[in-house]
Amino acid sequence: MTPVNVEHPDFLWRNPDPAPGYDVVVVGGGGHGLATAYYLARNHGIRRVAVLEKGWLAGGNMARNTTIIRSNYLWDESAAIYEHALKLWEGLEEDLGYPLLFSQRGVLNLAHTLQDVRETRRRVYANQLNGVDAEWLEPEQVAEVCPIVNTSPDVRHPVLGATYQPRAGIAKHDYVAWGFARRADEYGIDLIQDCEVTGLDIRGGRIVGVDTTRGRIATGKVALAAAGHTSVLAAMAGLRLPLQSHPLQALVSELLEPVHPTVVMSNAVHVYVSQAHKGELVMGAGIDSQNGYGQRGSFHIIERQMAAALELFPVFARAHLLRSWAGIVDTTPDASPIVGLTPVAGLYLNCGWGTGGFKATPGVGWCFAHTVAHDRPHPYNAPFTLERFTSGALVDEHGAAAVAH
Amino acid sequence: MQLIPCPWCGPREEAEYHYGGQAHIAYPEDPQGLTDEQWAQYVFFRDNPKGPFAERWLHNAGCRRWFNAVRDTATHRLLAVYRSGEPRPEVSSR
Amino acid sequence: MSAPFRLPGRGLVDRGTELEFRFDGRSYTGHPGDTLASALLANGVHRVATGIEYGRPRGIVSAGVEEPSALVQIEAPFPEPMLQATTVELYSGLVARGLAGRGRLAPGPDPARYDAVHAHCDLLVVGAGPAGLTAALAGARDGQRVVLLDDQPQPGGSLLGSAETVDGRPGPEWAAGAAAELAGHPDVRVLGRTTAFGCYDDGFVLALERRTDHLGAAAPAGMSRQRVWRLRAGRIVLATGAHERPLVFADNDRPGIMLAGAARTYLHRYGVLAGRQVVVCTTDDSAYRAAVDLADAGATVAAVVDARPRVPEAWAEECARRGIEVRAGEVVTGTSGSERITRAHTVPYAGGQLNGLRRGIDCDLLLVSGGWNPVAHLYSHARGALRYDPARGAFLPDGELPGIRVAGSARGCVTLAECLADGARTVGQLPPPATEPVPEPTPGLVLWSVPDPSEQDGGAPRPRFVDLQRDATVADVLRATGAGLRSVEHVKRYTTIGTAHDQGRTSGVIASGIVAEALGVDIAALGTTTFRPPYTPVSFAALAGRDRGALFDPVRVTPLHGWHTAHGAEFENVGQWKRPRYYPLAGESMEAAVLRECRAARGSVALMDGSTLGKINVQGPDAGELLDRVYTNLMSTLKPGSARYGVMCGVDGMVLDDGTVIRVAEQEFLLTTTTGNAATVLDWMEEWLQTEWPDLRVTLTSVTDHWVTVPLVGPASRAVLAAVAPDLDVSNAAFPFMTWRDATVAGVPARICRISFSGELAYEVNVRGWEGLRVWEALLAAGEPYGITPYGTETMHVLRAEKGYPIIGQDTDGTVTPQDLGLGWAVSKKKPDFLGKRSFTRAENLRTDRKQLVGLLPEDPDLLLPEGAQLISGATLPAPPVPMHGHVTSSYRSAALGRTFALALVKAGRECIGDTIHVPLEDGVHPVLITDPVLYDKEGARRDG
């Protein structure tokens, strides 16, 4: 038998009650919030930190994403922060002392039209100059990397080639969160679950505390890392953000013998799929166009997703959908995140990661911790300001980055 | 898949519709007179409430008319639909 | 070969027909009506699968979809991974094997067809058991349109596995009668082999119908194998029944350990005795019925071990009458056996503690019952709340959802009479059918896990499995809580409990109970993991349905498509359209064909099929005003008979689309869009018209498909046109550039526009779609003396690029303004406003180093730059990150220039014209000269011929 379960540490975290005050309160106990707390302690020596989670740790998008990790983004700003994240991923199992099932099995981004080819090749050339490993593959090379992709020219949207990032891959989302949480807990950071923030106490333009369902907590710094719920929290500070929250669905099959050696993403046919270490196919579906906080999407999107999957992977026909679910993704007009300061002193923003937050986890934790610790952005997140929507200096990854995951 | 009641056609499958974001965002009277901040608010910033939200829908595969709806974004339940140009009705989330 | 455990005279299978099948390499027989599980049990096969983590033998636990153990791989007639043996209907020629945790996909494509069907009804009843049947009968007799679904091939639900009678008739017979009555109602549809797998808003239920699986190789070729029902119901009754809960004790995974209710089902429905030497371990009354029924069928029931201190008297008497020993206050604590259970170990149990000596009872079948879990999945999908019922140890549907009613044992009803009556209450006052009296129930005991005596004695603990498919044990749960985990969701993820086929059906509540006990918290507050669609696994292919291959995305072709195909065109996909990319002659390469086509256009005459260009008719008194608002330039001043190029921007000031606009009449315009953007532009204009400017009196109509559009290009185009349009004055004076004329071409009415996307003298001939081929062929005939040549999109791209005309979507990427493209001349300075204008004065738009469209000439005139290549400043490549100044957007070999060239977006490009920039490629860094984007006929002398 192949053992399928990893050996988890005997102890993960305490379950403390909130203290009356902290140096930093991180709102949102997902991957980003936990990574931020960890790097606050590890890189900046800030340990009087609370992570407030309204539900259970990493139960939001961290538990619901399709775990794809890559850094082959088009624009310099994006490539820099995602590549920073990927480099951290490459040492993260050791750093956290946790089996994260990080697997650099490569990611293929398929091109189906001549315009796809132009755009994806443009991305490859840009990636190479930015030091991101990326290469262009012809259809027959795609078939070598992933033999089950239908590269026949006779399909409705034939595969005309692909970009390939060999260092890209997947990891086990829960374990990543738990790895950060465990280390943060060891630093003495309080991870407080079932604790919903109900108000932000701002006096004279400066944050002084947060009100929660478990009482008031005094703090001079609040770091928001609440993904789809950021707008709701920001509204407590009177901030209006260029965010829209949408349901995004994903699904898994039963456990299957190894059949899919890499990760495949397609924009035109809209598929992104990998096979997790246990053997289940993990697949993302489309985003619901309407706003929603319901953590559930429309099923016709799943049906469409399956049609797309079978176009590219005929062998998946009799795999079975075992479970589907939805997360709430906060999207921005340019499909790039917002990470930085706000008009409220001591209130920091990390949001707008849309469908791409998981892969950035260590990178954004690193940079956001820096931003909070120094009250100024890290160079990697400096371009991702709120002000860019006023100046027009967008980092427009729409269309430029294949499927934005 | 929800049933969305088009104010012209009646209840139809969600897949027939196209979503149009927040309703009642008027194009500015004098865009050239706005500051960059004000213009950016119009172009990029929309409300994103968890709860009742007045939003625009297009009955794309039906009458192809735009209309407005109040929908609870937490429950996805439609609370009211009304034609473009009509005021937002007073509704409470059920 | 007769199956040794099939009992004569029992069961509902068709004994007159034998079905041969193979399992794990051996041949067996069964009957129509069997499942693979029942047929295996009839043949005495209990070991079916292997545990994934520890490799332990695994058997058949249940008789239905809750099966957590007997996972099989179908090998023939077509491979299908990981099905529960309890849900596979037997057919002749079935080849299957037991799995060790992972299934296998077929290497080739699935030949079967799949489909979807829509239906509407007043009342949808899910489940044709006792409650579902009475609910459907009530609705049908009330005249409602009813759909009744059931996942089994025949109606009856729990009645099929029971000896109880209804209205004095055997349960299955009564159910068949009820179904027959239902089928007689004109507006009632009864669907068997159909599993409702998702329940959504507004009465929407998805169900999977398995139409041919039970026929095996005999399945009709033309029939879809499975289809998804998309049901929209006014009201829904969820009569989905309940699943029996297993008991968790040491070595509770051995083959031969089975749910008590399942053994009854195998007996009554399939005529199969699951074992001959039986021990029953229970915490509630229902298992006694199994003990009694199996004893009556000839099994030796050695003991009923009841964890409760007080056993139900009436049942104890029934047992005594059959010589079955009943032991109160005792539990099974462990088992022996390897491939199958051989002995159950029991210990007295009171107050949650084992106290007393262990005894062994030999057996080949251990039946267990830990109570019942109502099947609340669909109710949960629809966001119905669940509440914990401490008496039942189960989560029950709570509250009400609009339009949804839960009935029968799914709502917690216990007896058959209650279920029948509960269903009957759905509509009106249907009197429920009569049932036999049943003993007064004795309260059940909630027992999440039985202590492991060896562990208590300080010995090595034995595994107590909570999730058999994931091989997750009580120790795993306790390890999770010991690690600090407090949420059932965390425990699920730490242990993987409930993530397999079972999806928590047998394991979910038990895991919650163990966590609650370990943490000392109330299970009601702790809750259980969430049920998510689908209720049972559904194949990807079934969900994809027919939307595959050509039906995945509609293919659009022009009326000339047949001609293109017949003349050897190579096509490219543009949006949904198939467009000829080039027309190679025999043995000709694409490069040679395109050079030849280009030479024809520049040297004589060529024509292409431009019908895919989007065309929108704009009519009304305010048509000009609308166009002034959406185009960057002024359109309202256009005169009827004239044409103008126009650019559209989004409100962000970025180029959205471009095309020509002609004024047909004072109140009518016709505008063209790029092929891929036709729908986007129409929607964009409609949105503004309807939502912002409803006062404008304008209507928009897509007329793309009405016309066949043929650009006739080249110095000889005038002569060719004159030949087919003898009444038209084609002179430059009478028909100047950027005007249009209606004329008769090849005998049919045509609209001809003198516009040019190539820089050559050109006419765009538009005729009604059905006359397109005739006109196309007439043009070809008239052009023959000039060597007229059809050309495709590739040549079109080259010709326009030589002239520096951008293609929106190729030379732009959503970050490009008209000014960046050098189209500032098409941006009105006069209009006070138009869409996008305000964004042009934002800080970012005023930067002088914005990327601008320029031409590129590689120093090596034979170097064809790859499109997408990036531009850097130096001739050597520094270490990354390397600053990039822009990228190549279009790149071609030019017949007219006798060399290669490209278009590019370059930072401050127009200022850099004349400079050398560099392109790093795989084989080195290549110098290229930045030029004006117009590389051919800069004076525009050729357009007038």
Interface residue C842 vs chain B (CB under 8 A): yes
Of A231, A290, A299, the CB nearest to B1: A299
- Residue C457: per-residue pLDDT: 81
Of C103, C572, C872, the CB nearest to A255: C103
**In chain A, which residue's Cα lies nearest the Cα of B15?**
A300
C811-854 confidence digits (pLDDT tens): 999 999 999 999 999 999 999 999 999 999 999 999 999 999 99
Q: Which segments of C50-170 does DSSP mark as H helices, in order?
A: 130-141
Instruction: Show which subunits contact B, needing at least 3 CB pairs below 8 angstroms.
Output: A, C
Q: Which residues of A are less than 8 Å from B40 in CB distance?
A: 389-390
CB-based burial, C247-270: b 16+ in 10 Å, e otherwise = bbbbbbbbbbbbbbbbbbbbbbbb
Interface residue C400 vs chain B (CB under 8 A): no
Edge-to-edge order in the sheet of strand C899-907 = C870-871, C886-894, C899-907, C851-858, C924-931, C916-921
From the candidates A125, A176, A259, A278, which should be mutated to test the interface with C, based on the most C CB atoms within 10 A?
Answer: A125
- Residue A267: per-residue pLDDT: 83
C292-343 confidence digits (pLDDT tens): 999 999 999 999 999 999 999 999 999 999 999 999 999 999 999 999 999 9
Taking an 8 Å Cβ-Cβ cutoff, which residues of chain B contact chain A? Answer: 1-2, 14-15, 18-19, 21, 36-37, 40-41, 43-50, 53, 55, 71, 73-76
Side chain identity, residue A364? V
- Residue C459: per-residue pLDDT: 86
B15-55 confidence digits (pLDDT tens): 999 999 999 999 999 999 999 999 999 999 999 999 999 99
The rounded distance, in Å, linking the Cα atoms of C70 and C82 is: 9
Of C652, C694, C832, the CB nearest to B43: C652
Of B2, B37, B73, the CB nearest to A390: B37
- Residue A1: per-residue pLDDT: 38
Average pLDDT over residues C548-557: 92
In the predicted structure, residue C474 carries a pLDDT above the cut 90: yes
Interface residue A289 vs chain B (CB under 8 A): yes
Average pLDDT over residues C405-414: 96
Is there a cis peptide before residue C534, judged by omega within 30 degrees of 0?
Answer: yes
* Token pair belonging to A106: 């490569």
* pLDDT < 50 stretches in chain A: 1-2, 400-405
C455-470 confidence digits (pLDDT tens): 878 888 999 999 999 9
Maximum distance among all Cα pairs of chain A, rounded to whole angstroms: 66
Total residue length of chain A? 405
Q: Which residues of A are less than 8 Å from B53 in CB distance?
A: 291
Cβ distance of B45 and A240 shorter than 8 Å:
yes
Cβ distance of A279 and C102 shorter than 8 Å:
yes
Of C80, C471, C880, the CB nearest to A129: C880
From the candidates C202, C835, C841, which should be mutated to test the interface with B, based on the most B CB atoms within 10 A?
Answer: C202
Share of chain A above pLDDT 70, in %: 97
C191-208 confidence digits (pLDDT tens): 999 999 999 999 999 999
Of A244, A289, A300, the CB nearest to B46: A244
Of C81, C494, C920, the CB nearest to A256: C81
The rounded distance, in Å, linking the Cα atoms of B3 and C233 is: 11
The rounded distance, in Å, linking the Cα atoms of A287 and A310 is: 19
From the candidates B66, B67, B79, which should be mutated to test the interface with C, based on the most C CB atoms within 10 A?
Answer: B66
**In chain B, which residue's Cα lies nearest the Cα of A235?**
B49
CA C540-C542-C548 angle, 5° bins: 80
**In chain A, which residue's Cα lies nearest the Cα of B73?**
A292
- Residue A174: per-residue pLDDT: 97
Q: Where in chain A is the domain with CATH 3.30.9.10?
A: 104-168+244-331
Mean pLDDT of the residues in chain C:
96
* Token pair belonging to A96: 């956290």
Residues 296-325 of A with CB under 8 A from C: 296, 298-299, 302-304, 306-311, 314-325
What does residue C159 show for φ and ψ, rounded to 5 degrees? -65, -25
Of C200, C203, C839, the CB nearest to B43: C839
Chain A closest CA to C605's CA: distance in Å? Answer: 27
In the predicted structure, residue C562 carries a pLDDT above the cut 70: yes
Cβ distance of A242 and B44 shorter than 8 Å:
yes
Cβ distance of B58 and C651 shorter than 8 Å:
no
DSSP 8-state secondary structure symbol assigned to residue C78:
S
HEC profile of A9-65: CCCCCCCCCCCCEECEEEECCCHHHHHHHHHHHHHHCCCCEEEECCCCCCCCHHHCC
**In chain B, which residue's Cα lies nearest the Cα of C652?**
B43
According to CATH, the topology of domain A11-65+173-242+333-391 is FAD/NAD(P)-binding domain (3.50.50)
Question: Which residues, 6+ apart, have CB-to-CB distance to A364 below 8 Å?
Answer: A32, A35, A36, A81, A85, A337, A339, A350, A353, A357, A381
A96 exposure class (CB count in 10 Å sphere: 0-12, 13-18, 19+): buried
- Residue C412: per-residue pLDDT: 95
**Backbone φ/ψ region at C337: left (φ over 0), alpha (ψ -120 to 50), beta:** left
Q: Which residues of C are less than 8 Å from B58 in CB distance?
A: 683, 686-687
* Token pair belonging to B85: 């140009």
Average pLDDT over residues C657-677: 97
**pLDDT classification of B93: cutoffs 50, 70, 90:** low
Cβ distance of C500 and A254 shorter than 8 Å:
yes
The rounded distance, in Å, linking the Cα atoms of C541 and C213 is: 14
- Residue A4: per-residue pLDDT: 61
Interface residue A104 vs chain C (CB under 8 A): no
Interface residue C313 vs chain B (CB under 8 A): no
DSSP 8-state secondary structure symbol assigned to residue C89:
B
Closest CA to C537 of A256, A325, A250, A252: A252
Of A63, A125, A254, the CB nearest to C82: A254
Lowest-pLDDT choice from C72-86, C489-503, C610-624:
C489-503
Instruction: Show which subunits contact C, needing at least 3 CB pairs below 8 angstroms.
Output: A, B
- Residue C726: per-residue pLDDT: 96
Q: Which residues of B are less than 8 Å from C651 in CB distance?
A: 42-43
CB atoms inside a 10 Å sphere around CB C784: 10
Chain B closest CA to A306's CA: distance in Å? Answer: 16
From the candidates C73, C82, C105, which should be mutated to test the interface with A, based on the most A CB atoms within 10 A?
Answer: C105
**Backbone φ/ψ region at A335: left (φ over 0), alpha (ψ -120 to 50), beta:** left
Q: Which residues of A are less than 8 Å from B36 in CB distance?
A: 390-391
In this structure, the strands spanning A271-275 and B10-13 are unpaired
Cβ-Cβ contacts under 8 Å between A and C: the total is 261
C114-134 confidence digits (pLDDT tens): 999 999 999 999 999 999 999
HEC profile of chain B: CCEEEECCCEEEEHHHCEEEEECCCCCCCCHHHCCHHHHHHHHHCCCCCCCEEEEEEECCCCCCCEEEEEEECCCCCEEEEEECCCCCCCCCCC
* Token pair belonging to C464: 């107590």
DSSP output for C262-284: HHHHHHHTT-B-S-SEEEEEESS
In the predicted structure, residue C678 carries a pLDDT above the cut 50: yes
- Residue B91: per-residue pLDDT: 83
Is there a cis peptide before residue C77, judged by omega within 30 degrees of 0?
Answer: yes
Chain B closest CA to A32's CA: distance in Å? Answer: 21
| CATH 3.30.9.10 assigned to A104-168+244-331 | yes
Cβ distance of C870 and A318 shorter than 8 Å:
no
The rounded distance, in Å, linking the Cα atoms of A76 and C880 is: 11
* Token pair belonging to C664: 């047909």
Q: Where in chain A is the domain with CATH 3.50.50.60?
A: 11-65+173-242+333-391
In the predicted structure, residue C871 carries a pLDDT above the cut 80: yes
- Residue A404: per-residue pLDDT: 38
Contact C515, C488 (CB under 8 A): yes
Cβ distance of B76 and C201 shorter than 8 Å:
yes
- Residue A400: per-residue pLDDT: 47
For chain C, the 3-state helix, strand and coil shares in percent, each to the nearest 5, are 25, 30, 45
Cβ distance of C201 and B84 shorter than 8 Å:
no
Contact C350, C468 (CB under 8 A): no
Chain B closest CA to A175's CA: distance in Å? Answer: 29
Chain A closest CA to B50's CA: distance in Å? Answer: 6
Cβ distance of A310 and C540 shorter than 8 Å:
yes
**In chain A, which residue's Cα lies nearest the Cα of C550?**
A156
Chain B closest CA to C207's CA: distance in Å? Answer: 14
Question: Which residues, 6+ apart, have CB-to-CB distance to C687 below 8 Å?
Answer: B20, B58, B66
Query: Any idea of the CA torsion for C477, C479, C485, C491, to the nearest 10 degrees?
Result: -30
C358-389 confidence digits (pLDDT tens): 999 999 999 999 999 999 999 999 999 999 99
**In chain B, which residue's Cα lies nearest the Cα of C233?**
B3
Total residue length of chain C? 945
- Residue C551: per-residue pLDDT: 92
